[in-house]
Structure 1
Amino acid sequence: MTTPLQRAEAFCSRFGLRVPILLGPMAGVPAPALSIAVANAGGLGACGVLLMPPDDIRAWAETVRAGTPGAFQLNIWIPDPAPRRDADQEARIRAFLGGFGPEVPAAAGDAVPPDFAAQCAAMLAAAPTAVSSVMGLFPPDFVARLKARGIPWFANVSTLAEARAAEAAGADVIVAQGAEAGGHRGCFDAAAAERDMVGLLALVPAIVDAVRLPVVATGGIGDGRGVAAALALGASAAQIGTGFLRTPEAGIPSAWADALGRTAPEDTRVSRAFSGRAGRSLATDYVRAATAPDAPAPAPYPVQRGLTAAMRGAAAKANDVARMQAWAGQAAGLAKAEPAGDVVRRLWDGARAALA
């Protein structure tokens, strides 16, 4: 038996950290300055490379290494099967979106993510502290390449069954993501994302009892009390995304950052309105309209992401949170507008005080 602090210390020792605080990899918030600040404070920086071509992945890693000797992870989505297209449905969505932003071109839904294999090769070349997966499991050949390079695999999961599958596939760490999490959750089956909504308080101990790997808790953790609770439940570290969004290093639009500070747990909503994949955001004017009974059903990922691109871009430019892709976890109201290094220290000082 080990104490929560002993588990945390062992995790930190293994991955070159001073504190068991991980920055959540957020594809829409890749700011290197945020990871530099988190890593310099002793935590694990992160980048969600979903939308980044290989050259951008390499450049991001080089920028972070120039700013810190600390640790960071690179995270990527496992690709979905090719989406089924419906031209009539997409036309209805384009017309609906025209009421919230610029006219949507007919070809907007044709946008596709960068080549997955090339991204994986770039992550290997970048040699991060860890590579993490979301939305499924890495193929066996890539797992073998990671292990040959000595790069640990952090597998994000949202259910007990997914955790067991990740351990069997060769993962080194399980990242247990509760339904409270902001943005997209790591559900292997996109169709089950809204159905299998497991809260972190139930998910972490179930996974800790079922696997022999270290477990990182993420989703709805916003202060030291949340970190302490995760460790008390058996986790070895805590990963925080929304809690870092109000930091100056994150660089998100001010309207989004300000709204997070006013957000109650019930002020967020899970929808497919932005990307076609279930994600938790602020319940903005657009989200409420897009989830109303008379709204057109969203297209699958990544078609819906392409269709909403013009609206999202216009909203960010206008600093208009009503139409913005404003991801937010249920603990958003705990996020503070302070430097990221101070957030790391506050989280860990608060956790140690709570555990004491």
Structure 2
Amino acid sequence: MSQWPDTRILDLLGIELPIIQAPMAGAHDSAMVIATSNAGGLGSLPAALLSLEQLREELKTIRQNSQRPFNVNFFCHQPPAPDEQKAREWKNLLEPYYRELGVDFDAPTPVSNRAPFDEAACALIEEFHPEVVSFHFGLPEKSLLDRVKATGAKILSSATTVEEAVWLEQRGCDAIIAMGYEAGGHRGMFLSDDLSSQVGTFALVPQIVDAVKVPVIAAGGITDARGVAAAFHLGASAVQVGTAYLFTPEAKISAAHHKALRTAKESETALTNLFTGRPARGLLNRVMRELGPMSDKAPAFPLAGGALMPLRAKDPADFANLWAGQAFRLGVELTAAELTRRLADEALAKLTRR
């Protein structure tokens, strides 16, 4: 019998430990998912940057190397209409950097893309039957969501406000990820683009717990066992941890990202829309400092990244996104399996201490 004070997520998802490894597009692959799930947590595969062929191979690899439940995560944004004037103004703003780095400013601008959940991705879910499917930026259209539910998958999605949590519950989510302001990567906000509506994890979690009947998963600023235990004290049934897993050997991050995580000061993260057009938390670098982390000139998500791609190729430390949550300084060097078990073991010790 589990000693955890709330076992609803364990029972719902069929996992042993209430530790969910966050899906971090571009930062890891199936190896981290397999290691986390085999350790008793829930590994999560990010699909937003994968082609259908890549997604199929990753799903096949996971199924071949783990019998445990795992999660597949998709974005649910609506691709924007091209805006040539906006794109031109954005690239012109970056022109001095092109000249400085010797990059051909007149070459065609690469296309930055994130794939939203669609018919083809849904067909792969129907083929591989992952135990959990999670979404970011809301939920897909009802016909697709119904098909995912018909596979038996449990549905999770991120809420950054109480209003979003209630909206998700009303549309059939089995559990809500309460994503606080501290979290690294893209904000999951979808009912509003007003950043002033965003609150911290430990203010958000208990309010969402009080507002919905489904279990709540705390996310944002949780990097060690203290954060896990605190989330449970506030009514969470599990935690989703991202940045801490970037310190594991299973992470597939650049050398620049790796170095920044280990050398930046604890205050050096900010929400920025420069890299994709949508607010996401990352470590401060040159382009964020010089242009300001938020710019009204950045094209709509996910198009902003295209003009930065040639600069990023030349200088990833200064021109690539270095996603990280506010508690990144608490990261430790462990394997994904070791991290999963340590977070659970140490948190449970705190929660059951007499």
Q: TM-score, normalised by structure 2?
A: 0.91
Give the unaligned 5+ runs of structure 1. none
Equivalent residue, structure 2, for 1:170:
172
Amino acid at match of 1:299: P
Deviations 1:75-104 (Å, cap 9, x if unpaired)? 111122524514241341441552467335
Residue in 1 aligned with 2:304?
304
Note the C-alpha offset of 1:321.
2.4
**Residue of structure 2 in register with 1:339 after alignment:** 335
What is the rounded CA distance, in whole Å, between the counterparts of 1:155 and 1:296 in structure 2?
28
List aligned pairs for 1:308-319, cutoff 5 A. 308-315=308-315
Paired residues for 1:125-144 under 5 Å = 125-144=127-146
3-state SS in 2 of match to 1:154: strand
Compute the displacement of 1:48 (Å): 1.4
Native 8 Å contact 2:49 2:113 kept in 1: no
- Alignment pair present for 1:79 and 2:77: yes
The equivalent residue for 1:27 is 25
Q: Provide the secondary structure at the position in 1 that maps to 2:193.
A: helix
Q: Is the 8 A contact 2:187 2:279 kept in 1?
A: yes
Query: In the alignment, what sits opposite 1:13?
Result: 11
Q: Distance in 1 between matches of 2:261 and 2:67?
A: 31
Aligned residues: 347
Larger mean Cα displacement after TM superposition, 77-86 or 242-251: 77-86
> Is structure 2 residue 84 aligned with structure 1 residue 62?
no
Task: Rate the CA distance shift 1:218–1:103 in 2: closer, same or farther, 3 A.
Answer: farther
Taking only aligned residues, the RMSD between alpha carbons, in angstroms, comes to 2.3
Secondary structure at the residue paired with 1:269? strand
Query: What residue in structure 2 maps to residue 349 of structure 1?
Result: 345
Equivalence for 1:52: 50
Matches within 5 A, 1:274-289: 274-289=275-290
Give the alignment of 1:208-219 within 5 angstroms.
208-219=209-220
Shift of 1:106: 5.6
Greater mean alpha carbon deviation, residues 60-69 or residues 220-229 = 60-69
CA distance in 1, matches of 2:174, 2:134: 10
Give distance in 2, aligned partners of 1:278 and 1:136.
15
Q: Which residue of 2 aligns with 1:243?
A: 244
Residue type at the aligned position of 1:219: G
Deviation at 1:124, TM superposition (A): 3.1
Q: Which is worse superposed, 28-37 or 89-98?
A: 89-98
Counterpart of 1:324 in structure 2 is 320
Task: Tell whether the 8 Å contact from 2:117 to 2:140 is kept in structure 1 after alignment.
Answer: no
CA distance in structure 2 between the aligned counterparts of 1:222 and 1:235, rounded to whole angstroms: 15
Q: Does 1:120 align with 2:116?
A: no
Contact 1:109 1:303 in 2 (8 A): no
Structure 1: distance between partners of 2:104 and 2:260: 27
Shift of 1:292: 7.1
Aligned with 2:73: secondary structure?
A: strand
- 1:101/1:310 contact within 8 Å kept: no
Q: What SS does the aligned partner of 1:128 have?
A: coil
Q: Does 1:272 align with 2:273?
A: yes
Cα displacement (A) at 1:28: 1.5
CA distance in 1, matches of 2:235, 2:145: 26
Describe the superposition over 1:54-89 as per-residue Cα deviations: whole angstroms up to 9, x where unpaired: 221111111122222222111111122524514241
Closer/same/farther in 2, CA of residues 302 and 162 from structure 1, 3 Å limit = same
* Aligned residues of 1:18 and 1:42 also touching (Cα < 8 A): yes
Cα offset for 1:189? 4.3
| Residue range with higher mean Cα deviation, 105-114 or 258-267 | 105-114
Q: Does the CA contact (< 8 Å) of 2:91 and 2:307 recur in 1? A: no
Amino acid at match of 2:301: Y
Of stretches 110-119 and 55-64 in structure 1, the one that deviates more from structure 2 is: 110-119
> Aligned partners of 1:340 and 1:292: how far apart in 2?
31
Identity of counterpart residues, as a percentage? 35
Gaps of 5+ in 2: none
In the alignment, the residues of structure 2 paired with residue 69 and residue 104 of structure 1 have an alpha-carbon distance, to the nearest angstrom, of: 50
Counterparts of 1:237 and 1:282, CA distance in 2 = 26
Structure-2 separation of matches of 1:32 and 1:81:
26
Runs (4 or more) in structure 1 with deviation over 3 Å come to: 99-107, 109-116, 262-265
